[in-house]
Amino acid sequence: MNVTIDPNSGFCFGVVYAIEIAERELAKCDNLYCLGDIVHNNMEVKRLKDMGLIIIEHEELDLLHDCKVLIRAHGEPPETYRIAMKNNLELIDASCPIVLNLQNEIRYGFEEMQETGGQIVIYGKEGHAEVNGLRGQTLGKAIVIGSKDDLEKIDFKRPVHLYAQTTKSVSGFQEITETIRQRMEAVTPGGKIDFRWNDTICRQVSNRSGKLQEFAGKFEVVVFVSGKKSSNGMILYKVCKDVNPRTHLVSGMEDLRSDWFSGIGNVGICGATSTPMWLMEEVAAEIRTINV
């Protein structure tokens, strides 16, 4: 049985950057806290925990004093920095530069919307760590839209400035953008609408969809490796599944089933932007040991 790992899968730049910073800090300090899972992959989180990384929830941050806290790639709202100053915490900021740039854009956009009575709208997943950080730039006033079902949150008679979570799909953003434009024009017949949109989706992430479609179509069976918490992973898994119905989602080699590979000559292994290459290699090695 031939088993091939997708060379385009694995960590995106932002996750690589955050993990490198964590490893460097762990090599020189006894205690390093991290706000939430550094990456949405249980196996990689366990590896870093074994090195000494301590995962905490946001409500625990105010209980810490005089220590180091890592900010993961998703970024954080301003409140996190205020607590750090109050409690003498040294923040090790591993925020993805693309996310930091988006936070700045939204903050400036919010200031403009305050003057015009407009609304900041974010196309993203409610409660997602990145989205929480983005909303924080607007004093929590930004409207989060996960799908067209959420559009009733918007007042289409008022100005709208639309942004997107960096890991959302381009096609989904385009659909939301067009629908908002149509709804605004419908309530302003013959008038000029005040609607601006910023396509702030990370192309390193979004471009993977096309590459994965091509990859998944080459194999009899595809094994997609991803943590269940990864929204990016669930999106990319569906991309593969739509192309190749014999695509299976696993968190690690313990989820593999030998009957998936009965009579199969070639298998493809791929994963999310939060899936480490070492984990895909581990899964591939286990598949090669299956005798069917």
Q: Which residues contact 29 (CB under 8 A, 6 or more apart)?
A: 68
- Return the structure tokens found at 171: 């096609």
- Return the structure tokens found at 283: 């899964």
Is residue 38 within 8 A of residue 45, CB to CB? The reply is yes
Q: Which residues of 145-155 are buried (b: 16+ CB within 10 A; e: fewer)?
A: bbeeeeeeebe
- Largest Cα separation within the chain, whole Å, is 69
Distances (CA, A) of 47 to 35, 39, 117, 132: 16, 11, 48, 26
Question: In sequence order, what DSSP letters do the residues of 70-111 get, joined into one string?
Answer: EE-TT---HHHHHHHHHTT-EEEE---HHHHHHHHHHHHHHH
Rounded Cα distance between 84 and 81, Å, is 5
The Cβ of residue 219 has, within 10 Å, a number of other Cβ atoms equal to 23
Strands (E), 36-89: 53-56, 68-71
- Return the structure tokens found at 211: 């590459």
Rounded Cα distance between 192 and 185, Å, is 8
Enumerate the active-site residues: 130
- Return the structure tokens found at 118: 């407009």
Nearest of 134, 99, 101, 132 to residue 120 by alpha carbon: 134
